[in-house]
Amino acid sequence: MKRFLPLIVLALGALYLASTLREPKDKAGFNLTDFGRVPVLVGGRIKPLDTVARTSILTIRGSQYIATPDGKSITPDAWLADVLFNPAKADTYKIFLIENHEVVDLLKLNLEDGDGKKRFSYEQLRPQLPELERQARMVDSVEEPLRTPFQKQVISVQQRVFTYMQLKLSVEAPDSPDFLSELVAFDKALPAGIEAVRAKQANQPHSEDAMKAMATMVNRFSYIEQFGNLRVVPPDTGDANVHNWRTAGSALMDSFAVGRVNPTVLGYAAIGHAWRGGDVKTFNEVVAALHDQLAKRYPDAMKKSDVESRFNSAAPFYSSMTLYVLTFLIAVFSWLKWPDTLQRSAFWLLALAFVATTAGILTRMWLESRPPVTNLYSSALFIGWATVLLCLILEKTFKNAVGSVAGGLVGFATLLIAHHLSLSGDTLEMMRAVLDSNFWLATHVVTVTIGYSATYLAGFLAIIYVFRGVFTKSLDKGTADALYRMVYGIVCFATLFSLIGTVLGGIWADQSWGRFWGWDPKENGALIIVIWNAIILHARWGGMVKARGMMAMAVFGNIVTSWSWFGTNMLGVGLHSYGFMEAAFYWLVGFVISQLLIIALAAIPQDKWKSSSSGEAAT
Amino acid sequence: MNATLRSFRDFFCSLQLTVWLLILSMILVFVATLDQVNLGIWAVQAKYFRSFAVLWQIPDSNVSIPVFPGGYFIGGLLLINLVAAHIYRFSLTWKKSGIQLAHAGLILLLLGELFTGLMSKESFLRLDTGETKHYSESFSENELVLIDHSDPKTDLVVAIPEGAVADKKSIQHKDLPFRVDVKEYYPNSNLQRVGPFAGPRPVATQGFGTGLVILPEKMTYKPNERNIPSAYIEIVAPEGSQGVWLASQMLQQPQTFQYAGKTWEIAFRQVRTYKPFALTLLKFSHDKYPGTEIPKNFSSRVRVKSDDGKEDREVLIFMNNPLRHGGYTFYQAGFDNNDTTTVLQVVRNPSWLLPYIACVMMGFGLCIQFGITLAGFIRKRSAANAAAARA
C-alpha cells in the first residue's frame, strides 16, 4: 500500500483536475453555458458574456458567490441574465460590498440589513444614491493619496454602483414592462414615424402622434446609449473592422436611419423575454442562433471567446491552489513520518499543480497574444510559476521535500495574491501604448520576474532552514548543508536574472524614450534586488557571513523583493505606478514585520537552536 | 612595499569595502525613491545621485550639512574598489574568467552612466500640426533673450542664462548698445491682470507688463509641471533708462521696443538647440482601444528636411519606435491641444552604446561563472551518487 501511495495521490489529483474540465451542467434547463459564450466587445476586446459576468460580480461583490434573497446560490451567468433582463429581481440581490461603517451610515442603512453586515442590494442603496453621488463629487477634488478611508470607500461604492448601472442599461431600456413587445411595436411604427419626421422637416402636414412616439423612443434609446457599457451588436456585414461593435442603444438610435430595428438587439430582447417568462426552449434557441451567427462571421474571435468561457469555468488557478496546499502539508509531514513515500507523493502533486498553472498561463497567453507578464495580476501568476519550476528542479536534485514545501507555500501564496489583484476587474486588460511591445515584455519583464521568483525562493528556503533549525531537531548536518547549497545556488541564479532583467529594462527605456536609466521607483526597486543579491554573494565570498548569516540575508531578500514588486507601486509616482493600493499596503507592512521577526530568530546563537543537539547542525 | 602602503592597497581592494559600499548604495537608492514623492525625479537625481554628499538643510536656516554620501562618492569609490581589485587579483584562468568579464562589464556600465550624466542632453520639440521647427527646447533651462531683428537675413540673439538673471545683476554685453538690469526675478510665477481699483500696481512701465503683475508661485517638482520664470528687466542706455519690461514665459506674444533706430525683441524662453534640419508635423494620431479611454498608440508623421537640401523625407515616429537622425533621437513623448500637437523628446547621447556592450559582457560573464559552478556541482553530485550506488 505504502509503495503505491504516490501513484494513488497522483491519480486522485489528476482526477480532480480532469473533473474541472467537464462541461458545466445547467440547472433548470436554461442553457446558461451557451449564453455565457456569446461574445461582446467591452474594455477594448471581444470577450464572452461569462467573463463580463465574473469580472463584474468580482468588482461589485468582492467574490463570485451570489445568493438570491431566498438563499439560493446562482452562477455569475444567471446573475448577469437577471441584471440584463430582469433588473427588478437583480436589484434585490445583496451584492454591493461596503466595508466602511461610516459609508453604511451615510446611506442610512443598518449593518444588520446587510448580508454578512457588509453587502447590500441596489434596492437598499437606491434612496440614498443622490447623496452618494454628492459625496463622491466632493471627494473628486481631493488627491488620491490624501483621501481618508471614508472618502476612498465612497468612491469604491459609487464605482460599484456605476458598474452595475452600466450593465443594467446595456441591452434593455429602463422600467420597460416588456422590452420585446416595445421593440416590436416600435418596429411597426417606424415607417410612419420616419415619414412624419420627413414631412415635418419639409414643412408639410404630418401626424403629431407619430412624431411624439418617435421623440419618446429617442429619449429612451439615447438614455441606454449613454449608459450602456457592453457593445453587444457586431459590426455590419460589410464592415471589415472587427472592432466596430456598437452598444444596443446606439444600434437602436440607428433604427431611424435604417428603417428597422437591429436584429441582434431584437435577438437579445427575445432572450430577455424568454428568461423572464421561464421559456426555456425559446431562450436556448435564440441564444444558439445568436452564437452561431457570430461564429460564422468571426471564427477566430469566437474560438477565443469559447475557450475563455471554458477556461473561466475550469478555473485552473483555483484547483492549483488546492493542490499546492496539499503538497505543502504532505511535504511537511514527510519530515516527521514516511519520508520517502510522502516526499514522492508531494513531488507528484506539486508537478500536477505546476501543469495546471502552466496550462492556465498558456491559455491566457494565447487569448491575449502576449508574453506571460502584462500586468500585476499576471506577474503574480508568473512569479509563482517560475518559483515552482525551480522547486521541482531542486526537489528532483535533492529529494528532501524542501523543494515541495517551498513550492507548495510560494505557489499557494502567489495565487492568493493574484486572486486579490483580480478584484479590480478584467485581468486580460489591454496594454497601454507605452508598454505595447511584445519583444520587450517577453525579454525584460520575463527575465526580471524570474529574478523576483528566485530571490523569493532563496528567502523561503532560508525560512525553512531557520524554522527547522530553531524549532525542530530535523535540521541535521546533511539537510543543513543541502539547504545552504540550495540557497547559494538560487541566489546566484537570482543575481544573474535580476541583473540581466534590469539591464534589459534599461535598454528598453533607451529604445523607447532615450534614457537608459531614469531612477524611476520601479527601476530602483529592481536595482535594489540586484544589489542585495550581490551583497549576499560578496559577503559570502569575503567570509563576512557563514551559513546562518547568509540565511538571514536571504530572508531579507523577501522584503527587498516585495518592496520592488508592490511597494514601489504604492508611491504613486513614475511610469510603472498602478495607483495607491491601501489594502495591499497593510499586507506589505505585515509581511515585512514577519520577515524581520524571522531574521531575529536567525540571530539567535546556533547553540540555542533545537537542532544544535541533533549532531552538528551546519556551520 | 611598506606596511602603510600595503594596508592602504588592501583597503581599496577588499571585499569588505565592496559590501559596505553596496549596502550604502542600496540605502541611498531606497531613500531617494521615497523622496521622489516630495521632490520629483529631477530634484532627486541632483540631490542623491549626481552629488558627492546628500545635504540636509537645517530647518529655518540657510545652512546645509552633509548627512549621507552621495551617488558620485559611493559610485566613485565603488569604481576604484572594482578597478583596484580587478588589477590586483587579476589572473587569467578559466575559472575566474566569468567573474572578470562580468566585473569589467560593470565598470563599463558605471562609466557609461557617468558619461551619460556628463554628456547627454535632453530637450523636447513641440509641434502643432503643419508647424515646422529647426530647434528643440530644454525642459528646465531658460534664458532671457534680446533679439535684434533689423538685419532681414539673420537675427542677432543675445541670450542671458537664467542663472545670471537669478543673480539679479546688471548685465552688459558687447553686442548690446544698452545695459540690462534685472530688478526682480521669480523662478516660478503666474501673471495677473491689474484690476481697475484695488490690488498691486504694475512695476513694468513699458510693454505688456504695464497691465500685469507677477504672482510668485512655489517651485514645483512634479514631473508633469514646469516652473514658469518671470522677471522685471530695466533697459538702461547711456542716455538713461528706457523703461522696465516684464519678461515671462507666460507671455506668448513677442514684446518689442525701438532703440537707436533698431527693433529689439525681449523674451524669457526655454533654452533652444538649433539643428541643421527641420521637422514638420504632418499628422498626429492618438488611437484608443474601441470603447475605452486606454491609449493604444501615439504616432507622429513628420517630414524631415535638411538645410543642405540632401534630405527630404517622411517618417512615422511612434511608441517604442523613435527617429534617429543627425546624432539626435526623437521619441514620441506626449501630445496636447485635442490631439493636434505632438511633443517629441529629443535626446543626444554620444555614449548610448556603452550600456549595450556592458550588458553583453556582464550577462556573458555571469553565465560562464555560474555555468562553471553548476557544472562542478553536478559532477560532484553524480560522483557522490555513483559512490552511493557502489556502496
Whether the CB of A497 is below 8 Å from some CB of chain B: the reply is: no
Does residue A311 register a pLDDT over 90?
A: yes
Interface contact B376, partner A, CB < 8 A: no
In terms of CA atoms, which chain A residue is nearest residue B21?
A: A535
Distance in angstroms (rounded) separating the CA atoms of residues B281 and B279: 7
DSSP B194-255: PPSSSSPPP---SGGGGGEEEEE------TT-----EEEEEEEETTEEEEEEEEETT--S-E
3-state percent helix, strand, coil for chain A, nearest multiple of 5 = 75, 5, 25
Contact map slice: B 272-291 vs A, CB within 8 A? 288-291
Mean pLDDT of A484-490: 93
Of the candidate ranges A57-66, A316-325, A444-453, the one whose mean pLDDT is the lowest: A57-66
Chain A, 406 to 435: residues with Cβ < 8 Å from chain B are 429-430, 432-434
For the stretch B299-310, pLDDT in tens is: 999 999 998 888
CB contact B323 to A (< 8 Å)? no
Q: Do A538 and B294 lie within an 8 Å CB cutoff?
A: no
Q: Is the CB of B14 inside 8 Å of chain A's CB atoms?
A: yes
Length reported for chain A: 619
Q: Please give the grid coordinates belonging to residue B199.
A: 490690488
What is the number of CB-based contacts under 8 A between chain A and chain B? 160
- Is B298 in contact with B335 (CB distance < 8 Å)? yes
User: Could you give the CA distance from residue B266 to residue B273 in angstroms, rounded to a whole number?
Assistant: 19
More confident residue, A112 or B223: A112
Q: Is B35 on the interface with A (CB under 8 A)?
A: no
> B388 to chain A: which residues are within 8 Å by CB?
none
Higher per-residue pLDDT: A176 or B27: B27
B319 neighbourhood in chain A, CB within 8 Å: 433-434, 436-437, 512
Angle, CA of A101, A107 and A109, to the nearest 5°:
70
Mean pLDDT of chain A: 89
Pairwise CB contact (< 8 Å): A429 & B294: yes
- pLDDT recorded at residue A575: 45
Predicted local distance difference test score (pLDDT) of residue A617:
42
Reply yes or no on whether the pLDDT at A598 is more than 90.
yes
Q: Which residue would you say has higher pLDDT here, A584 or A81?
A: A81
Q: Going by C-beta distance under 8 Å and a sequence separation of 6 or more, which residues neighbour residue A602?
A: A462, A466, A470, A548, A551, A552, A555
Name the band, by pLDDT with cuts 50, 70 and 90, for residue A573.
low
B193 pLDDT more than 60? yes
Whether B331 sits inside 8 A of A244 (CB atoms) is no
pLDDT at A457: 96
> In this model, does residue B228 exceed pLDDT 80?
yes
The percentage of chain B sitting over the pLDDT mark of 70, rounded to a whole number, equals 98
Contacts of A462 (CB under 8 A, 6+ apart): A483, A487, A550, A551, A552, A554, A555, A602
- A39 bridge partner residues: A48
The answer to whether ipTM exceeds 0.90 is no
Q: For residue A370, list chain B residues with Cβ-Cβ distance below 8 A.
A: none
Residue A580 has pLDDT above 60, yes or no: no
Closest CA to B290 of A229, A58, A53, A39: A229
Q: How confident is the model at residue A23 (pLDDT cuts 50, 70, 90)?
A: confident
Query: How many Cβ atoms sit within 10 Å of the Cβ of residue B294?
Result: 15
Name the band, by pLDDT with cuts 50, 70 and 90, for residue A579: very low
pLDDT at A407 over 50: yes
> How far out from the chain centre does Cα A308 lie?
14
Interchain proximity B29–A531, CB inside 8 Å: yes
Q: Which residues of A touch B40 (CB under 8 A)?
A: 573
Mean pLDDT calculated for residue range B111-125? 87
Closest to A571 measured CA to CA, from B35, B328, B117? B35
> Is the pLDDT at A618 greater than 70, yes or no?
no
**Which chain A residues contact residue B23 at CB under 8 A?**
535
B265 touches chain A (CB under 8 A): no
Residue that wins the pLDDT comparison between A576 and B29: B29
Residues of A in contact with B322 (CB under 8 A): 511-514
Chain A positions touching B320 (Cβ under 8 A) are 436-437, 440, 511-512
**Of A244, A514, A544, which has the smallest distance from its Cβ to B19's Cβ?**
A544
Nearest 5°: phi and psi at B134? -100, -5
Q: Would an 8 Å CB–CB cutoff place B352 in contact with chain A?
A: yes
Contact of A460 with A467, CB cutoff 8 Å: no
Q: Is pLDDT above 80 for A584? A: no
Single-letter amino acid code for the residue at A15: L
Tell me which chain B residues have a C-beta less than 8 angstroms from the C-beta of A511: 320, 322
Provide the pLDDT for residue A98: 92
**In the structure grid, which three cell numbers stand for residue B133, read together?**
521647427
